[in-house]
Amino acid sequence: MLGDVELGGDLRRRLYRAFLDVFLLRLIAEEPLWGYRLMEVLRERYGVRVGPPVLYPLLASLERRGMLESCEVPVGGRRRRVYHITGSGLEYAKRFEEVVREALDL
């Protein structure tokens, strides 16, 4: 049988993976971020490991849907794609929080 701490961690990771798009939006709402940094923050803060084959298509999808905008920023002779949240992305993340609250009030 799993201990309470292990079980809680597993449930958290499952939630973050299932709603990865929303958690990306929330992180980017805190501050503009780039792909590699997003992977680090997800691992450090939530214990979720997400690689480039999952992350970058998801970011591109969020951008196509108008929830994120990106721009290239020169950094040490290289270019970094930095993502910023849009009003639509903020609204989507806010609506997610409302839905979760409603579901937990059952």
**Single-letter code of the amino acid located at 75:** V
Query: Which comes out higher in pLDDT, residue 92 or 10?
Result: 92
Summarize pLDDT for 63-94 with one digit per residue, the tens. Answer: 999 999 999 999 889 999 999 999 999 999 99
Residue spans per domain, the chain? 7-104
Of all residues in the chain, the percent with pLDDT exceeding 90 is 64
Give the C-alpha separation, 65 to 60, whole Å.
9
Res 2: pLDDT = 47
Query: How is 55-90 classified by DSSP, letter by letter?
Result: HHHHHHHHHHTTSEEEEEEEETTEEEEEEEE-HHHH
Of all residues in the chain, the percent with pLDDT exceeding 70 is 91
Q: What global pTM score does this model have? A: 0.83
Res 48: pLDDT = 86
The CATH number of the domain covering residues in 7-104: 1.10.10.10
Q: Which two tokens stand for residue 59?
A: 């970011």
